[in-house]
Structures are given as C-alpha cells and as structure tokens.
Structure 1
Amino acid sequence: MPPRRRYDQYCSAARALDLVGDRWTLLIVRELLAGPRRYTDLHADLPGVSTDVLASRLKDMERDALATRRRLRPPGAAYVYELTPRGRGLLPVLQALGEWGRDGLEERRPTDAVRAHWFALPLLTALRGVNTDTGPGILEVGLEEGNFHLFIGAEDGPVYGEGLAPGGADARLVMDEGTCTAVVRGELTVPEGIRAGRITVTGDSPLGKALREE
C-alpha cells in the first residue's frame, strides 16, 4: 500500500488527524460503533462513498489499529469489520463533533440521505442529562425512518444497534423525526418531550420508569 499523507507536525491534534482526518473515516467509525459490519452493509449505509474509497479507508483503519477484519463462523462465513478499543475510543470525539455540528440540522436538504440509526449517537449524548443511572440497559427508539436501539451504560462492545433490539428492550421511545431533531439540537429534552406527549415511552423496567419520572 502507498504511504499515507501526513501533516508531519509534532502536535496531538495533527497526529489524530493523520489517522482520522481523511474523508469518510469518522463516518465509518460511526457505523462500526454499532458492532461488526460487513463491507456491503457499510457501503449501503454510507451513501456517496465509492467502493474504492471505502476499501482504502478500511485498509488504513486496519493498518492504524483502529479496526480489524475477521471471518464469521459458518454458516455465515462472511468477513466483518469491527473497531478495536482504540477505535471505540473515538466515541466521545464523534459525540462532541455531533454537538458542535447540531445547528446544521436546522433544515434537511432535498439531497440529504437519512438513516434512523444516524440519530443514535446524538440521542445518546442528549440522554446524558437524564437520570438513566439504573445500570446497563437497552433503550429502543422508533422513528418514522425505522428503529434502532441504544446500549445505555455500555462500557465496551457496541454502543447502539440497528433495528429492534434482539431479545427485547428495557424501554422504548417513539417519536417523529421533528421531535428527535429538536432533542438532538438541544431545543427539547427527552423528559420535556414525554410530558408534552411528543415522545411515548413504554416499559416497566427501572430504565422506563426513570424516563417517565424524570
């Protein structure tokens, strides 16, 4: 593989950008925070990336120990990519970047693609101010675009997952895209949305009760 272009600056920010400053790299990390993903799944959820660029970025991430590639056991026998602990350490970076850029969600452009799970990390950030100190739990979220689930209090492994939670969730939130965007933008808290009837919460677990009683 050809050598990567680097900033050649003795600066921690420059060193970080040497690894994740290329276009698409951080969005690949966003997708892999959901756990192991096949190449075809990554390509489907990164509209606009070419196959060559995606393959190149994944190779760079393997070389820089941000991600690994492994083969699933039969009957799947497919190759999947997953984050290393160093790669997973980019979670707070992505969350901070999402907070900084949330004003950009003011208007959805006609050309904008959308996936329900793209709201997962910003919503996880928004929930930091809510009393969900009930131990690890799974919070399912239903939007018009689809479902995803959050692993509340997870210290390792996936941070979120696409679709309904396998085996069920401890609580479920249902809201429309406008409400979710308002929460992500900091214009509405989850408890305010629940009290106003804009967010429906179900589940009798400690997590569900904590969300209703906040």
Structure 2
Amino acid sequence: MPRQQQSAARPVRRRSYDQFCATARALDAVGDRWTLLIVRELLAGPRRYTDLHADLPGVSTDVLASRLRDMEQNGLAVRRRLPPPGAASVYELTGRGRGLMPVLAALAEWGAPELAERRPTDAVRAHWFALPLLRALDGLSHAGTVEVRLDEGRFHVRAGDVESGSPVYGDGPAVRADVCIALDAEVCLELAHGGLSLAEAVGGGRVEVSGEGPLATELRGG
C-alpha cells in the first residue's frame, strides 16, 4: 500500500498534554489559539459564522471552522438552525462553555494594564470592553440592563443577577435598557483594573448616567 494511503487511513489523534492535571485537561480543551476569544464572542449569545469571523479580525476561515468543530467535540458549543424567517445556522455556548465566563473575566482583569497604549495595528470592537466593565458593575444591589455608549460603538451588559443560560452582554444597543451610561475607553479601562471606582467616575463627571428607575438612581449615587 502506498505510504500516502497508509497515512490517510491512520486515525487522527486529538492533541493532549497527557497529564492527569485539571489545568492540563482544561488547556486540552481551550488552550489553542483563538478558542477563548471565540468563547468571548459567544458569551454575547448565539452568533452566525460570518458574524464570528467579522468580530475576530486576523483569524482565517479554516482556523475558525477548525476551532468551532473542536469546541463542539469538547462540549463547549453547539450549532443549531434558527427557525424561519431566520433560517440561518448559529453557534452558541453550552452550559460548560458558559462556565468559562469567570475565566475570561479574570484574564480581562489581569490583562487590562497591558492596554495602557493602543497600538496602530490594534483592531477594536466596542463589546470587547464588556467583560472588563462587568467587574465595575459587580456588587450593585439592583439588577437590570445597562446600555454602554463608547466612541467605538454601543453594547449592553446585564448587571446584578443573570438568569442561568442568558447572555451576560450583547453587541449593539439594548432592546430595552434600564439605564444608559456614556464614557470613553480610557475610563472603561481604569474601571477594569481597579484604578477608578464607578462611584468616583460618576461623581467626577467621567461617566454620564441617563435613565430613571432604581438602577439609574443607584449608579448616580442616590
């Protein structure tokens, strides 16, 4: 049998660190380049392949397709067909995939100081600031949807208790926001790494709060 045919018949072995260690097992599933950034995108809810590709500048179509297949095999994501009139396929996280949210939040907090200067080659999307900002909103006594307005665009986050399985943030304006806040990326990053509290930012006029209701009142310090 030709060598090429022998190679084709050989089963593909999944890459593994082959270590009986929880960290190694976790990295077996999410340690490949781009996987955690795909999780970041899917934390906003179901996304089409084309939307994922648009919001992951730099990833090739082959690599994105490969990572999504791996995530399905590892039980992190599923692909499903939307009912009419949508009739499109979307990817969404499983419960196990959503369990990576604290991991992404911790990485965002750890990496925030590295964003002191934006490089000329850096791409940016407004919703990439969602996970860092969630840290500043943690601990609010009132729950609700917060629409965030940056120069880079808009996104929305869910403050307070989030129903199990619900997205913790979303791209674009909220369908129905309980409060809107306007700030710039610099303030958002200061909030992310703890150099500034939300109360200090609002009190100093660096965050503008608009809206009525208990959540808006709390954010204003009332």
Q: TM-score normalized by structure 1?
A: 0.95
Q: 2:187 aligns with which of 174, 179, 183?
A: 179
Percent identity between the two aligned chains: 63
**Alpha-carbon distance between aligned partners in 2 of 1:46 and 1:73, rounded to the nearest angstrom:** 26
Question: Which residue does 1:161 correspond to in 2?
Answer: 170
1:92-114 C-alpha deviation (Å, 9 max, x unpaired): 00011111111111111110000
Which residue of structure 2 aligns with residue 137 of structure 1?
144
Given that residues 132 and 189 in structure 2 are in contact (C-alpha distance below 8 angstroms), is that contact kept between their aligned partners in structure 1?
no
Residue identity in the other structure for 1:182? E
Alignment pair present for 1:151 and 2:161: no
Alignment of 1:213 with 2:214, yes or no, is no
Give the gaps of 5 or more residues in structure 1.
none
Task: Extract unaligned runs of 5+ from structure 2.
Answer: 1-10
**Counterpart Cα distance in 1 of 2:14 and 2:110:** 28
SS of residue in 1 equivalent to 2:79: strand
Name the count of aligned residue pairs.
210
Q: 1:206 deviation in Å?
A: 1.1
Partner Cα separation in structure 2 for residue 191 and residue 172 of structure 1: 15
Q: Distance in 2 between matches of 1:151 and 1:20?
A: 25
Q: Deviations over 1:3-49 (max 9, x none)?
A: 32100000000000000000000000000000000000000000000
Q: Identify which range, 183-192 or 39-48, moves more after superposition.
A: 183-192
Larger Rg: 2
Deviating beyond 3 angstroms after TM superposition, the runs of 4 or more aligned structure 1 residues are none
Specify the code of the residue in structure 1 equivalent to 2:15.
R
1:107 alignment partner, one of 109, 117, 120: 117
What SS class does the counterpart of residue 43 from structure 1 fall into? helix
Partner of 2:3: none
